[in-house]
Amino acid sequence: MKGREILLGHINGREAAALMVDGRLDDLLVDADAPRPGTIYRAVTDRPVKGQGGIFLKTPDGSAYLRGVKGIGAGEVLQVQVTGYAEPGKAIPVSHKLLFKSRYAIITPEAPGLNLSRSIRDDDIRDALLALAHDRMEGSDMGLILRSAAADAAADEVLDDITAMRQLAEQVTADNGTAPDILTEGDGPHVLAWRDWVEPAQVVTTSGCFEAQSVLDAIDAVRTGAIPLDGGATMYVEATRALIAVDVNTGADGSFAAGLRANLACARALPSALRVLGLGGQITIDLAPMPKKERATFETALRAALRRDDIDTVMAGWTPLGHFELQRKRARPALAEVVK
């Protein structure tokens, strides 16, 4: 089927959302047992990690770890926000910089100022959005960022979104409790789909839509780790204990340019595959053979694909063996852990 579809349903009793683009599974969100990113805790400091600039915290969901802090002793009360999913056996990663994020607005309590997404370039639209921002943020010392989706939204929707996020931020930051507690939960898959998948799409919420639209079949296919690429090539994605290994195979194409074509197809498809599989951390790509002079072409294609991705990924560069390495935030639970 051509076009974009957002399907909201459940998988094995877990809330889930799937984004299908031209009949292909482009993104997948599945709820996990771990604390959701975006959850804000009232936490109590436990013990510092000397030499690393971090400290462990006590939260209702267990131990959390906060990086980049100095001068904080044991027993202090902090507000922190979950930033991602921890590796098995490790503490929950948190930040002391809170963000209150919705479809159109992001409230930044510690970063004052009114800002717009850089992708909004039309001067008239920017002026109109700034007027809305001034209207709803008057009297507040918190910051506001209006996201790119606000450019195409009705003024009333943007105003309501700013108001809701400001009220939530004021309520949370005014908390003065002393015991570990959850101040607000992170968003689940259905809300995240509404919040982040903002391009026009048909939304399907009927019972059994995952089966009817072949979402479950697509999940089973991607779980094998073999991702078909354009031109008959294949990309194999495998999670090991230490890293994520990606292997690119040209298939039956034996032409001189087969390697470059397969590697460019890998660059375009890799962000989606990693999102669906819920994989992050260190990623090593074993590319198909291609001339060294084409490495820059591959990097350009990969950078363009990652620019459209909403998960922080660092292009670390080439290894002496000719592999390409990435460092990607663990923003999703691994698909293998939540769908069995």
CB atoms within 10 A of CB 296: 9
pTM over 0.85: yes
Q: What is the pLDDT of residue 1?
A: 65
Q: What is the pLDDT of residue 186?
A: 97
Task: Assess contact for 144 and 106: CB atoms under 8 A.
Answer: yes
- The answer to whether 40-97 and 100-176 have equal CATH topology is no
Q: What is the pLDDT of residue 318?
A: 97
For the chain, give every domain's residue range.
Answer: 40-97, 100-176, 224-338
- 100-176 in CATH: which number? 3.30.230.10
Let me know if 173 is exposed, middle or buried by CB neighbors in 10 A (0-12, 13-18, 19+).
middle
DSSP characters over 46-104: EEEETTTTEEEEEETTEEEEE-S--S--TT-EEEEEE-SPPPTTSPEEEESS--EE-SS
Fold of 40-97: OB fold (Dihydrolipoamide Acetyltransferase, E2P) (2.40.50)
* Whether residue 47 has pLDDT greater than 90: no
* Whether residue 54 has pLDDT greater than 70: yes
pLDDT band at 70 (very low <50, low <70, confident <90, very high): confident
pLDDT tens digits, one per residue of 116-155: 999 999 999 999 999 999 999 999 999 999 999 999 999 9
For residue 327, list its beta bridge partners: 282, 314
% the chain with pLDDT above 90: 88
And the tokens for 175?
């908390």
Q: What is the pLDDT of residue 252?
A: 85
Q: What is the pLDDT of residue 31?
A: 97
* Whether residue 102 has pLDDT greater than 90: yes
pLDDT tens digits, one per residue of 183-206: 999 999 999 999 999 999 999 999
pLDDT tens digits, one per residue of 168-185: 999 999 999 999 999 999
CB atoms within 10 A of CB 179: 9
pLDDT tens digits, one per residue of 249-308: 998 887 889 999 999 999 999 999 999 999 999 999 999 999 999 999 999 999 999 999
Higher pLDDT, 257 or 2: 257
Q: How many residues does the chain have?
A: 340
Q: What is the pLDDT of residue 89?
A: 84
* Whether residue 71 has pLDDT greater than 80: no
pLDDT band at 237 (very low <50, low <70, confident <90, very high): very high
Q: What is the pLDDT of residue 145?
A: 98
Q: What is the pLDDT of residue 52?
A: 73
Determine the average pLDDT of the residues in 81-93.
92
Task: Assess contact for 165 and 107: CB atoms under 8 A.
Answer: yes
* Whether residue 214 has pLDDT greater than 80: yes
CB atoms within 10 A of CB 293: 7
Q: What is the pLDDT of residue 49?
A: 82
Q: What is the pLDDT of residue 274?
A: 97
Q: Which backbone phi and psi does 239 adopt, to 5 degrees?
A: -90, 120
